[in-house]
Chain A
Amino acid sequence: MDKQVYELRGRQSNLSRLVHFDKEAYIHMLFYRALIILSVVAGAVFFASYFFNLSTAVFRAFFMIIWVLFIPQVFESAKGMSVIATRGFVFGHLNKSYRSTAEKYLKPRAAPLFKAFPYAVLAAWLAGLVLLVLTWFI
């Protein structure tokens, strides 16, 4: 008799499973999916502004939405670079006993800098958002 299996994969709603154990990943995935659609919409709006007399407020609102949606992407991209540069010794979840023996062979000296790098990038990005709000909206 053939084995009958049942598939629960393949739906975007499965992303909500992350809420129970990895909120950071959930926000990252949610923002990424929203960004995909909105980046195309924003691109079209910006492009249309060359032909139609669109209000500046519309341009600025879309610019800010894209800026906000990029927050997790900017942080995760910087984190990914740190992970590659340190072979997972920073932000990785490598086996603890392996870490203790391999650190002297593989851990780069600049590991603390790589740990700070994504936070520095995130701080700069958030500072940009504050500046954006202050200069454009207030």
Chain B
Amino acid sequence: MRETIRNAPLYAAMIGVPVLMMAELLSSLFYPPASAILVPLIIIGLFVFGFSAMREVYPKHAISIGTPYYFNGITKTTVEKKEPSVMKKNAKEVKLKLVRFNPSSKRMEANIYTIAVDRFTTVLDALLHIKEKEDSTLSMRYSCRMGICGSCGVVVNGKPCLACETNVLNSTGLSGIEVSPMHGNPLLKDLVNDFDDFFRRHIAVKPQLFREDKVAQYVADAEYPQTQKQVEAFLPYSYCIMCGLCLDACPVVNTNPDFIGPQALSQAQRYLADSRDQLGTERIKLVDSMEGIWGCEFAGSCSKVCPKGVDPATAIQLLKSEAVDRAIKYK
């Protein structure tokens, strides 16, 4: 619980400074002598807030030495002038701008395709059409085509989403639709991200049930019954399909790759909230760090893009409150 205690000044200042400023405003109106105490407290509060938050937002190890960083602007745009090859009944022509990562030039490149779509065409359908008919070199990842496997995460018009669950016509603006790879995970080629780092983070929170009764848990007829309320406590966090959209949306992950990210933290909450798990405080300790729960700045973007309603932002706030509770109890 060391990190919880180390972070206490930041959170105290975050709430304390506005309260003191409000008090200073009121005192200037009704009781000016109080300023003599309030102003020094505000000064201390501002310093505490500034320096503690700096440690959170600009950590020493945020940019690892030797990691290559490349310009992510588009360097080359190619317009494909081919006629749409498939024109079904009631089909519409849509301009699809495909931004893809070229590993040989280490640059993003864009191609614009004109494709025929109907009202049921998903972004994944459109990408598969491009791969089959226009450019067979296009690399992408997909599997189930029904929002279950979580393989086809891409960024459509700037928003991370599953390609198989995103309708083309609903997402098309006046200038067409833009599809690009996720930035919140390292890039491999075109629309394909590398998920090794993602799974390293996932494994770091020990995403499995731990029991003290080591022998009994492997007995075939051992049962760990739960009430409906106990199930509801962890159920939404178990819906995670590990698509990585939350990591892509998270502004903290995007600016500080050392932050473990919303997916792993939501899984920590999933097992912490499970009445069958007995890792307890040890589980909190795994995430009680600046790279863990205390790195979260509660932007909430992770929850807004989650296709399964896992709500990682809520999970992280619950973990924070649990960490504080335990720090107070066991101190």
Contacts and interface: CB of A to CB of B under 8 A. Distances in A.
A125 interface: yes
Contact of A95 (B160, B196, B239): B239
B254 interface: yes
Interface in B263-291: none
B299 A22 contact: yes
Nearest to A63: B21
Nearest to B305: A21
B327 interface: no
Contacts of A74: 18
Contacts of B47: 39-40, 43
Interface residues of B, number: 77
B57 interface: yes
Interface in B90-123: 101, 103, 106
Contacts of A88: 236, 311, 314-315, 318
Contacts of B196: 3, 5
Interface in B219-246: 228-229, 232-233, 235-236, 239
Interface in B56-112: 57, 62-63, 67-70, 72, 101, 103, 106
Given A36-B57, A87-B314, A94-B314, A22 B249 contact: yes
The 9 closest A-B pairs by CB, nearest first: A20-B158, A95-B309, A88-B314, A40-B50, A43-B46, A5-B186, A25-B299, A14-B254, A21-B159
13 contacts: A6-B103, A6-B186, A6-B187, A10-B69, A17-B254, A22-B301, A25-B304, A32-B297, A36-B53, A76-B298, A93-B304, A96-B309, A102-B236
Interface of A: 3-12, 14-15, 17-22, 24-26, 28-29, 32-33, 35-37, 39-40, 42-43, 46-47, 63, 66-67, 70, 73-74, 76-77, 79-80, 83-84, 87-88, 92-96, 98, 101-102, 105-106, 124-125, 128, 131-132, 135-136
